[in-house]
Chain A
Amino acid sequence: MKLHYKVIAAIGAISVFSCVLSVSEAAKIDAYKNILLSKSYTIKYDNITPPRRLTNRDKTPLFGNSGMAVDKNDYLTNRQRSGVVTSDGQNRYEEVGDGTFSQCRLIKGNEVFNFTKYPQKNNPKIFEYMGNKKNKVAAVKRNYLAEAVEGESYGDTDVTRILNIMLSKNANATYFYAGGGALPNGLSYEDYKSSAGGFTGVIRYYFNGNDLVKIAAAEFYKNNSGNLEGTKHIIKIKEFVSEPDQQLLKLPEGLSDTTKR
């Protein structure tokens, strides 16, 4: 009789556990969504899929891009890009590069500092900066419109778009939970899907335990000529935490501010 109770208790415990598991699995990405919404984060990633080369068909919108235009830099074409984004709610720093040469943007309140960062020729351990001049940078006005229209920027344009999908309220591309499960390599995943008006988008978040480690996304749509076009992205998440990196939220040593205020 006692054994019987134990079996029932065990079955009960398993079913409760699996219930909790299924709820928590579907909610794993929500933890990261909340980090983005809190505006306090440090994210480090590798965008493994390089952007398509721009042609003269590509149009730059009047309102500007919220992400940095890394796809217009020849040196980054067909290469993996690494990105760092950190924010404390008021200030934000973004950096995208190939490991040695990086485009950087520091947003402090209403001001934006754009500069590049590269190792010194003679001493590769020390970085040099190029703003308006070597080791000098002047602030420009922050583009609030691009942020309102396109969402917050997370460095690389593709990563910006894909991370904004998590927060998307855009009726044209709302992603819904489409399933999830475990993979033989020990990772688990959550799938989200959007299909509306000739556009299909799928996105899979990979988790190691509760840690987001990879994002894979594919999008298909018909172009103006009616042909199917598509893009795919694989993003390796190296770090995604809610603590801002304060060291990065100020102009680096060696780069002076020449803004006339």
Chain B
Amino acid sequence: MKKRLLTAALILSLSSSIAGAEQNAAENYRQIFASGDFYVEYQDNYTKRVIGEKNGKRMERTVYSGAGLATAFNPLGALFGGGTTKYPEVMYKDGKFYQFQSDDKAIVCDKADLAYENLNPKEGWNGIERKLALPTELAVFFWEDPYREKNSVIGKPSATWSGKKKIEDKEYDCDRYASLITRASGKGESYYVYEMLYEKGELTIARSYVKTGDEEHLINEVKIKKISGNMPDNLFKISKKTKVYAAGKGDMDDLLENPAEVEQMEGI
């Protein structure tokens, strides 16, 4: 316990001594996320994703790699328009979660019903909040994100180091943050380390590591394409007369695979 307090104190003292060295953009990103009107485009090994929030609506769209062909005219493939569908995969609006199955068909579940034990497990409602979450690495800018996966053993990150970092002959401005992982595996304390790499003042790569003693292992890397305030209205598009069906709740409709149509959407 004493050791943990000491390490926590060390993180705090480090953070206060180098807080001034954090990239200016970091505070800007914090304000963007706190405003409730933002969008993020990013890419990891397997997916390209867009997540946006405006007027209390949070939406998400994923393109799995290989799904959208990148060309010289449309270098990012299906993700950013180019005649491809723009409907969100998942949306939260007015206390309800929607999952779009095609551009004119969706299923809906009340937020209060997400823990209902008879929800059809095939519809994947238990993972829906996670789909709307920003990449874990961005928690350093938006710890209060309601969709952030809560893990009681990983604490709030504090800044630990700022400087230059070279990756494959390219030099980045780098900010590092660390969260103490309170449950140790017997090897000593572990930390969840966030590494933000900036190019020309903009965040381009966000990485996360697990650090135990002297060992540090890369957990994840996302390439940030865009973080911006003012989500454009045409970033997501829901076609008029989208039919919305009730989530399967183990009732007769669900049993007969004949879901009830509950509403019709008139675009976003």
Determine whether A37 belongs to the interface, using a CB cutoff of 8 Å to chain B. yes
0 or 1 for each of B143-182: is its CB under 8 Å from A? (1 = yes) = 0000001011110000000000000000000000000011
Determine whether B95 belongs to the interface, using a CB cutoff of 8 Å to chain A. no
Whether the pair B115, A148 counts as a contact (CB closer than 8 A) is no
A172–B183 Cα gap in the complex (Å)? 10
A63–B219 Cα gap in the complex (Å)? 10
A88–B154 Cα gap in the complex (Å)? 28
Whether the pair B151, A63 counts as a contact (CB closer than 8 A) is yes
Closest residue to B148 on the A side, CB-wise?
Answer: A62
Whether the pair A151, B183 counts as a contact (CB closer than 8 A) is yes
Whether the pair A170, B183 counts as a contact (CB closer than 8 A) is yes
A196-252 residues with Cβ-Cβ distance < 8 A to B are 224
A10–B176 Cα gap in the complex (Å)? 66
A169 touching B184 in the complex, CB below 8 Å, given contacts A56-B126, A62-B136, A148-B210: yes
Closest residue to B183 on the A side, CB-wise?
Answer: A170
A168–B115 Cα gap in the complex (Å)? 30
Determine whether B130 belongs to the interface, using a CB cutoff of 8 Å to chain A. yes
Whether the pair B184, A57 counts as a contact (CB closer than 8 A) is no
Determine whether A71 belongs to the interface, using a CB cutoff of 8 Å to chain B. no
Closest residue to A168 on the B side, CB-wise?
Answer: B183
Whether the pair A56, B182 counts as a contact (CB closer than 8 A) is no
Closest residue to B217 on the A side, CB-wise?
Answer: A144
The interface residues of chain B lying within 8 Å CB-to-CB of A61 are: 149, 151
Partner of A55, one of B117, B184, B186: B117
Determine whether B185 belongs to the interface, using a CB cutoff of 8 Å to chain A. yes
Determine whether A111 belongs to the interface, using a CB cutoff of 8 Å to chain B. no
Determine whether A137 belongs to the interface, using a CB cutoff of 8 Å to chain B. no
A36–B217 Cα gap in the complex (Å)? 22
0 or 1 for each of A107-150: is its CB under 8 Å from B? (1 = yes) = 00010000000000000000000000000000000101101111
Determine whether B192 belongs to the interface, using a CB cutoff of 8 Å to chain A. yes
Query: Which of B121, B127, B151, B217 is packed against the most chain A CB atoms within 10 Å?
Result: B217
Partner of B210, one of A56, A59, A60, A145: A145
Whether the pair B151, A149 counts as a contact (CB closer than 8 A) is yes
Partner of B153, one of A39, A149, A224: A149
Instruction: Give chain B's interface residue range (CB within 8 Å of chain A).
Output: 20 to 34
A25-63 residues with Cβ-Cβ distance < 8 A to B are 36-37, 39, 55-63
The interface residues of chain B lying within 8 Å CB-to-CB of A169 are: 4, 182-184
A62–B151 Cα gap in the complex (Å)? 10
0 or 1 for each of A165-176: is its CB under 8 Å from B? (1 = yes) = 001111110000
A57–B212 Cα gap in the complex (Å)? 33
A141–B121 Cα gap in the complex (Å)? 29
Determine whether B120 belongs to the interface, using a CB cutoff of 8 Å to chain A. yes
Determine whether A152 belongs to the interface, using a CB cutoff of 8 Å to chain B. yes
Whether the pair A144, B219 counts as a contact (CB closer than 8 A) is yes
Whether the pair B182, A57 counts as a contact (CB closer than 8 A) is no
Whether the pair B115, A224 counts as a contact (CB closer than 8 A) is yes
A167 touching B149 in the complex, CB below 8 Å, given contacts A56-B121, A59-B126: no
0 or 1 for each of B182-218: is its CB under 8 Å from A? (1 = yes) = 1111100010100000000000000000101000010
Whether the pair A150, B192 counts as a contact (CB closer than 8 A) is no
The interface residues of chain B lying within 8 Å CB-to-CB of A145 are: 192, 210, 219
Whether the pair A149, B154 counts as a contact (CB closer than 8 A) is yes
The interface residues of chain A lying within 8 Å CB-to-CB of B127 are: 59-60
Determine whether B40 belongs to the interface, using a CB cutoff of 8 Å to chain A. no
The interface residues of chain A lying within 8 Å CB-to-CB of B119 are: 56
Closest residue to A57 on the B side, CB-wise?
Answer: B117
Query: Which of A55, A63, A149, A168 is packed against the most chain B CB atoms within 10 Å?
Result: A149
The interface residues of chain A lying within 8 Å CB-to-CB of B186 are: 36-37, 39, 151-152, 167
The interface residues of chain B lying within 8 Å CB-to-CB of A39 are: 186
Closest residue to B116 on the A side, CB-wise?
Answer: A57
What are 26 A-B interface contacts by the 8 Å CB criterion?
A37-B186, A55-B117, A56-B119, A56-B125, A57-B117, A59-B127, A61-B149, A61-B151, A62-B130, A62-B136, A63-B149, A144-B217, A145-B210, A148-B181, A148-B184, A148-B192, A148-B210, A149-B154, A149-B181, A151-B185, A152-B186, A167-B185, A168-B183, A169-B183, A170-B153, A170-B183
- In addition to A57-B126, A144-B210, 14 A-B residue pairs with Cβ atoms within 8 Å of each other are A55-B121, A56-B120, A60-B127, A61-B151, A62-B149, A144-B217, A144-B219, A145-B192, A148-B183, A149-B151, A167-B186, A168-B183, A170-B153, A171-B182
